Structure 1
Amino acid sequence: MNCQCAETATPDLLDLFDARQRLIESAHPIQGVEEVSLEQAVGRVLANTVSAPLDMPGVDNSAMDGYALCLADYQALDDGHGLPILQRVPAGAGVMPQLQKGCSRIFTGAPIPMGADLVVPQERVTIDSNGHIHIEGALTVGANIRRQGEESRTGERLLKAGECLNAASIALLASHGINTVTVKRRLRVALLSTGDELIAPGNDRSPGQVYDSNRFMLHVLLTQAQCEVLDLGIIADSPQSLHHAFDQAQANADVVVCTGGVSVGEEDHVRAVLEKRGGLHFHGVAMKPGKPFAFGYLGDASCSITPLIALPGNPVASLVGWQFLALAFIHAMQGRGSTLLQCYPVIAGFSRSRSRGRSELLRVVLDGAREHAVAELAGGQGSHMLSAASQAQGYLMVNADTDVIAGSFYHYYPLHQFAL
Structure 2
Amino acid sequence: MSHSPNEPILLTSSLHVDDARQAIAGLVNDLIQESTALHDHDAIETVSLDQAIDRILAIDLLSPIDVPAADNSAMDGFAFDGKCLNTGSANITLRIVGSVFAGKPYEGSVAPGDCLKIMTGAVMPAGCDTVIPQEFTSAITENSIEFKSDQLKLGENRRLRGEDLQKGKPAIAAGRLLRPSDLGLAASLGIASLQVKRRLKVAILSSGDELRTLGQELDAGSIYDSNRYSLTGLLNRLNLDIIDCGIVRDDPTSLKKAFIEAAGKADVLISSGGVSVGEADFTKQIMQELGDVGFWKIAMRPGRPMAFGVLKPTPGNARKTLFFGLPGNPVAVMVTFYQFVRAALLQLNGANQTEPPLTQAIAEEPIRKKPGRTEFQRAILGRGTDGKPTVRLTGSQGAGILRSMSEANCFVILGHDQGNIAAGDWVDVALFDGLL
- Which one of the candidate residues 307, 311, 318 is aligned to 2:322? 307
Q: What is residue 114 of structure 1 aligned with on the other side? A: 126
Query: What is the identity, as a one-letter code, of the residue corresponding to 2:103?
Result: G
How far residue 190 of structure 1 moved from its aligned partner, in angstroms, is: 0.6
Distance in 1, matches of 2:414 and 2:93, equals: 69
Does residue 398 (structure 1) correspond to residue 414 (structure 2)? The answer is yes
- Which one of the candidate residues 153, 170, 173 is aligned to 1:157? 170
Does residue 21 (structure 1) correspond to residue 37 (structure 2)? The answer is no
What pairs with 1:225-304 in structure 2 (closer than 5 Å)?
225-266=238-279, 269-299=282-312, 304=319
Which has the higher mean CA deviation after the structures are superposed, 26-35 or 206-215? Answer: 26-35
Which has the higher mean CA deviation after the structures are superposed, 387-396 or 188-197? Answer: 387-396
Distance in 1, matches of 2:24 and 2:89, equals: 74
Q: Which runs of 5+ in 2 are unaligned?
A: 1-10, 33-40
Distance in 2, matches of 1:91 and 1:107, equals: 6
Does residue 135 (structure 1) correspond to residue 147 (structure 2)? The answer is yes
Distance in 2, matches of 1:264 and 1:11, equals: 9
Query: Does the 8 Å CA contact 1:323/1:418 hold for their aligned counterparts?
Result: no
Q: 1:261 to 1:82 in 2, by over 3 A?
A: same
How far residue 239 of structure 1 moved from its aligned partner, in angstroms, is: 1.5
Query: What is the identity, as a one-letter code, of the residue corresponding to 2:420?
Result: V
Query: Does the 8 Å CA contact 2:284/2:295 hold for their aligned counterparts?
Result: no
Query: Does the 8 Å CA contact 1:49/1:157 hold for their aligned counterparts?
Result: yes
Q: 1:373 to 1:172 in 2, by over 3 A?
A: closer
Query: Does the 8 Å CA contact 1:395/1:415 hold for their aligned counterparts?
Result: yes
Q: What is residue 435 of structure 2 aligned with on the other side? A: 419
Distance in 2, matches of 1:336 and 1:63, equals: 35
Q: Which runs of 5+ in 1 are unaligned?
A: 1-9
How far residue 396 of structure 1 moved from its aligned partner, in angstroms, is: 2.8
Query: Does the 8 Å CA contact 1:354/1:400 hold for their aligned counterparts?
Result: no
Q: Percent identity?
A: 35
- Which one of the candidate residues 69, 72, 86 is aligned to 1:58? 69
Distance in 1, matches of 2:356 and 2:90, equals: 63
Q: 1:130 to 1:31 in 2, by over 3 A?
A: closer
Q: What is residue 331 of structure 1 aligned with on the other side? A: 346
- Which one of the candidate residues 386, 389, 393 is aligned to 1:377? 393
Does residue 202 (structure 1) correspond to residue 215 (structure 2)? The answer is yes
Query: Does the 8 Å CA contact 1:282/1:295 hold for their aligned counterparts?
Result: yes
Q: What is residue 7 of structure 1 aligned with on the other side? A: none
Query: Does the 8 Å CA contact 1:394/1:412 hold for their aligned counterparts?
Result: no
Which has the higher mean CA deviation after the structures are superposed, 379-388 or 276-285? Answer: 276-285
How far residue 76 of structure 1 moved from its aligned partner, in angstroms, is: 7.8
Q: What is residue 228 of structure 2 aligned with on the other side? A: 215
Cα deviation, 1:352-383, whole Å, max 9, x if unaligned, reads 55447532222223453166654432111110
Does residue 365 (structure 1) correspond to residue 377 (structure 2)? The answer is no
Q: 1:356 to 1:154 in 2, by over 3 A?
A: closer
Query: What is the identity, as a one-letter code, of the residue corresponding to 1:419?
Result: L
How far residue 163 of structure 1 moved from its aligned partner, in angstroms, is: 1.1
Distance in 1, matches of 2:340 and 2:299, equals: 12
How far residue 250 of structure 1 moved from its aligned partner, in angstroms, is: 1.7
Distance in 2, matches of 1:92 and 1:255, equals: 51
Query: Does the 8 Å CA contact 2:75/2:120 hold for their aligned counterparts?
Result: yes
How far residue 407 of structure 1 moved from its aligned partner, in angstroms, is: 3.5
Query: Does the 8 Å CA contact 2:371/2:419 hold for their aligned counterparts?
Result: no
How far residue 60 of structure 1 moved from its aligned partner, in angstroms, is: 0.4
**SS of the residue aligned with 2:14?**
coil
Query: Does the 8 Å CA contact 1:62/1:111 hold for their aligned counterparts?
Result: yes
Does residue 389 (structure 1) correspond to residue 402 (structure 2)? The answer is no
**SS of the residue aligned with 2:432?**
helix
Query: Does the 8 Å CA contact 2:363/2:427 hold for their aligned counterparts?
Result: no
How far residue 124 of structure 1 moved from its aligned partner, in angstroms, is: 3.3
Q: 1:414 to 1:128 in 2, by over 3 A?
A: closer
Distance in 1, matches of 2:420 and 2:287, equals: 38
Distance in 2, matches of 1:157 and 1:185, equals: 21
Query: Does the 8 Å CA contact 1:398/1:404 hold for their aligned counterparts?
Result: no
Distance in 2, matches of 1:358 and 1:72, equals: 66
How far residue 286 of structure 1 moved from its aligned partner, in angstroms, is: 1.4
Q: What is residue 3 of structure 1 aligned with on the other side? A: none
Q: 1:79 to 1:200 in 2, by over 3 A?
A: closer
**SS of the residue aligned with 1:246?**
helix
Q: 1:129 to 1:188 in 2, by over 3 A?
A: closer
**SS of the residue aligned with 1:388?**
helix
| Alignment length (residue pairs) | 411
Query: TM-score, normalised on structure 1?
Result: 0.88
Which has the higher mean CA deviation after the structures are superposed, 361-370 or 290-299? Answer: 361-370
Indicate the RMSD between aligned Cα atoms, in angstroms.
Answer: 3.0
Q: 1:343 to 1:102 in 2, by over 3 A?
A: closer
